[in-house]
Every structure is written in structure tokens, then in C-alpha cells.
């Protein structure tokens, strides 16, 4: 398939929808919703180069490892627009097409964090291959249902506390704040989500968030482990409480005014080389992507702008995951076309895009680690109440906040 015919097929969709009677719209959507898999064999031309491709801390030699590269990318969970899910809030939209792209990118970033936590960065996915139970449990956290912790329902309704109406587009910092609050109700993963303020990461505040007080004198000490990615999770009713929560660090940045400043390009690319990297959220205004790596001066990203039908758990309790992995060749964007407002999920001392300090700045308000609110309903239900949403309202963007 030529590049020209690819463009023609993509552009044709909205025209055909506009000319179709409403009763035929569903059949037209069904025709196109999985078009992404049609192009599995179509590779956007990559240069014949000896350059390395970096994907979330792993390198691939493009000339000799193209299949390995595609396999690595397809293993990432891919969340896209969906339709036919239950209306958000009972009477809201039943599709997030046109407004939910940044929420889907946030889901992809968080899902990658959970995969690294439970399965490791080297875990690979193969079509129709039985996967570990942890994988299925991770996937179910993101299903489009009210009772799933990180569903589009939960994220959209939690966004109300951020001043976003349901159906309104989110920016990367808003998504970061929403995930920070929802993580308080995720006891299985027990993540500490830290969103930096004013381009500054404070080690002292992170330690306060991650350190868990022991349940008893017999509980091991509260020193953090050598690796923050260690899977120290508390299961069932075990009396053991981990001494250190795994950290998800999100750094909202503005790397320019109207476009990214070229002085940040090399530092931004270095982020994707870090083994702890979870990528970046960004793209263009009202057009979000999940950036996972780079080749030369081009960023590689997963695109959520494909509308697929809602998928639920099957009778055996598993999820058919075929539409949750992108099987096409990765898309690319010149780094200078990136919107300067991005959210990075990284931690490295020698980067100058943000500052890393040991102590909480004296001129800042006191840091209070976020805590789960005292509510009588489950985490999946509490955000249905506007009154309880008000209790979770946060201040302006880029402020250190507490729930």
C-alpha cells in the first residue's frame, strides 16, 4: 500500500460518515474501527541507517533489529478512543472520541508503569499467547467501566475536581493530577504518584510520600530499597506492610513558548534512554500522543486516535486483549513539532530541564503527603458524588497539592 493511498483511506472516513444516514453510522464505524490492523505490514519508510532506536530505556539497531523493535512496541498497552461503553456518570457520553486522547495517553503511561512493576521491562507480549495473571489484572484496571480504578469514567469524573467538564479535553498536567488522586484508591499497586511543581523535584518530599510506617515493631525498617521498581506489594490480608512504595514521578514541563526550544532537544531525548523512563505525554494542542522513544530527531509515539468498540471481561474473567496492542509500525514526529507543554515520567540528576533538590524550599507551603479521603463507598464509587469531588479539589496547575 502506498503512502498516498494510506492518507486517502484515513481522510475518507469522516467524509463518508458525514454523507451517511444516521442509521448506517454504526456499520460504517465498525468498518473502520479496526483499520489500524490492516496496515500491519505497512512500514513507514525508515532510513537505512546504523543509528540506534531508543524505546523506554532499551536500544534497538534499526538496520538489523526491526522485527525486535516492532515486537517491543507492540508489547506496550495501547489505549484508544472507545465507544458503546456505559454512559459516564449515568447520563454522560458513551464514547470519548474527540476529547479523550490525553486521558488515553495517561492510561498508557500508567499501564507501562504497572507492567514494569509486576512483569518487568523485558516482558514481551505475543498475540493469542497466554499471559501471566498479573497482566490480566493490570489490563482490567483500565477497562471502560465505572468500577475499574483507572477507567475513562474514573478519569473523566475525577477531572471535574480539576475544573474540567466531562467531555472536555485535558492537558498533560491535568491528567497527572487526576492519576495522582486515583492512585490513592489503588491498594493493589500502592503507587506513590509525585507531580513536580515549578520544574522542581524535591527528594525530601518524595521520601515522605514513599516511606510507609510499619504496622508494628516487628515490621522491617523503613529504609527504601535499592531499586524503586521492586515489587513489594501487600496481598490479601497479610500483616506485612512494605517499607517503601514504588514511585511514579511525573514532571510537567514547558520547554518553550509556542514551540519546543531547540536547546532542550538533546536533554529531552536522553530521557528515553533511562531504564526507568515511562515516556512522555504531549503532542499538539487538542491532539495528544504517548511518546515512547526516538530515532535521530524524530520522536516515536503511540496514537490513541482510533475509535474501537468497548471490550469487557469475558465469562471466564479474562479480557480479549487483541485490540489493546498496536500492531502497526510506530508513528514518528519531528521533535521540533512537539507542543512545548509535556509531562515526563523520569528521574535523572544531570538533566537541566528541571531542578532536583534535596530539601523542601523554605518559601514553599508545607508539603503534606496525599492521603486517601475517609469515605464510606469504594474508590470506584466515591467520585460520583459532587460533594466528595469538592473535597478533592486541587489548586492551580504546578502547585504542590494535598488531598
DSSP 116-129: HHHT-TT----TT-
Catalytic-labelled residue, pool 72, 96, 186, 303: 303
- 263 domain-assigned: yes
Taking CA atoms, 361 is separated from 180, 197, 198, 200, 355, in Å, by: 22, 11, 11, 10, 12
- 311 domain-assigned: yes
CA-closest candidate to residue 105, choices 154, 37, 175: 175
The winner for highest mean pLDDT among 121-125, 314-318, 344-348 is: 121-125
Catalytic-labelled residue, pool 20, 222, 305, 325: 305
- 293 domain-assigned: yes
Mean pLDDT, the chain, integer: 77
Active-site annotation holds for 303: yes
- 390 domain-assigned: no
- 46 domain-assigned: no
- 369 domain-assigned: no
For residue 84, give the C-alpha cell.
458503546
Q: Are 250 and 346 in contact (CB under 8 A)?
A: no
Count the domains in the chain: 1
CA-closest candidate to residue 295, choices 278, 328, 273: 273
pLDDT tens profile 123-142: 999 888 889 999 999 999 99
pLDDT tens profile 63-101: 888 888 889 999 999 999 999 999 999 999 999 999 999
CA-closest candidate to residue 118, choices 145, 149, 141, 96: 141
- 184 domain-assigned: yes
CA-closest candidate to residue 360, choices 212, 191, 206, 223: 206
Catalytic-labelled residue, pool 72, 96, 101, 205: 101
Give the range of the structural domain holding residue 322, as residue numbers without chain letter. 52-212+244-357
Q: What kind and span of H or E run contains 355?
A: strand 355-357
Active-site annotation holds for 101: yes
Claim: this prediction has a pTM higher than 0.85:
no
Say what the pLDDT of residue 44 is.
54
CA-closest candidate to residue 296, choices 3, 43, 50: 50
- 368 domain-assigned: no
Residues facing residue 193 across a β-bridge: 248
Q: How far apart are CA 272 and CA 294, in angstroms?
A: 7
Classified as helix, coil or strand, 240 is coil
Amino acid at each position: 500500500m502506498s503512502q498516498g493511498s494510506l492518507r486517502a483511506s484515513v481522510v475518507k472516513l469522516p467524509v463518508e460518515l458525514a454523507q451517511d444516514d444516521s442509521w448506517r453510522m454504526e456499520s460504517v464505524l465498525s468498518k473502520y474501527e479496526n483499520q489500524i490492523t490492516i496496515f500491519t505490514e505497512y512500514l513507514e519508510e525508515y532510513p537505512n541507517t546504523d543509528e540506534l532506536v531508543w524505546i523506554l530505556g532499551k536500544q534497538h539497531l534499526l538496520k538489523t533489529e526491526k522485527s525486535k523493535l516492532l515486537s517491543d512496541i507492540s508489547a506496550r498497552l495501547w489505549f484508544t478512543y472507545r465507544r458503546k461503553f456505559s454512559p459516564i456518570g449515568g447520563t454522560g457520553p458513551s464514547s470519548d472520541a474527540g476529547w479523550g486522547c490525553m486521558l488515553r495517553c495517561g492510561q498508557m503511561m500508567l499501564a507501562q508503569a504497572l507492567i514494569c512493576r509486576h512483569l518487568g521491562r523485558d516482558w514481551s507480549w505475543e498475540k493469542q499467547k497466554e499471559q501471566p495473571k498479573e497482566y490480566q489484572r493490570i489490563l482490567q484496571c483500565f477497562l471502560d467501566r465505572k468500577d475499574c480504578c483507572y477507567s475513562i469514567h474514573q478519569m473523566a469524573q475525577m477531572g471535574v475536581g480539576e475544573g474540567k467538564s466531562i467531555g472536555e479535553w485535558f492537558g498533560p498536567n491535568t491528567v497527572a493530577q487526576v492519576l495522582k488522586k486515583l492512585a490513592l484508591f489503588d491498594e493493589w499497586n500502592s503507587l506513590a504518584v509525585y507531580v513536580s511543581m515549578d520544574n522542581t523535584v524535591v527528594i525530601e518530599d518524595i521520601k515522605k510520600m514513599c516511606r510507609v510506617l510499619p504496622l508494628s515493631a516487628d515490621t522491617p525498617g523503613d529504609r527504601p530499597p535499592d531499586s524503586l521498581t521492586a515489587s513489594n506489594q501487600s496481598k490479601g490480608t497479610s500483616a506485612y506492610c512494605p517499607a517503601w512504595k514504588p514511585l511514579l514521578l511525573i514532571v510537567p514541563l514547558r520547554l518553550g513558548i509556542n514551540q519546543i526550544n531547540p536547546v532542550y532537544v538533546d536533554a529531552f531525548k536522553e530521557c528515553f534512554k533511562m531504564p526507568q523512563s515511562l515516556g512522555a505525554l504531549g503532542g499538539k494542542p487538542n491532539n495528544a500522543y504517548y511518546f515512547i522513544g526516538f530515532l535521530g530527531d524524530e520522536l516515536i509515539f503511540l496514537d490513541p486516535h482510533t475509535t474501537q468498540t468497548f471490550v469487557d471481561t469475558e465469562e471466564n474473567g479474562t479480557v480479549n486483549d487483541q485490540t489493546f496492542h498496536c500492531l502497526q509500525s510506530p508513528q514518528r514526529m519531528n521533535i521540533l513539532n512537539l507542543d512545548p507543554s509535556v509531562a515526563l515520567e523520569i528521574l535523572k540528576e544531570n538533566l537541566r530541564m528541571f531542578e532536583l533538590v534535596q530539601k523542601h524550599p523554605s518559601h514553599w507551603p508545607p508539603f503534606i503527603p496525599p492521603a486517601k479521603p475517609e469515605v464510606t463507598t469504594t474508590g470506584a464509587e466515591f467520585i460520583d458524588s459532587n460533594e466528595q469531588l469538592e473535597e478533592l479539589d486541587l489548586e492551580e496547575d504546578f502547585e504542590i497539592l494535598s488531598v
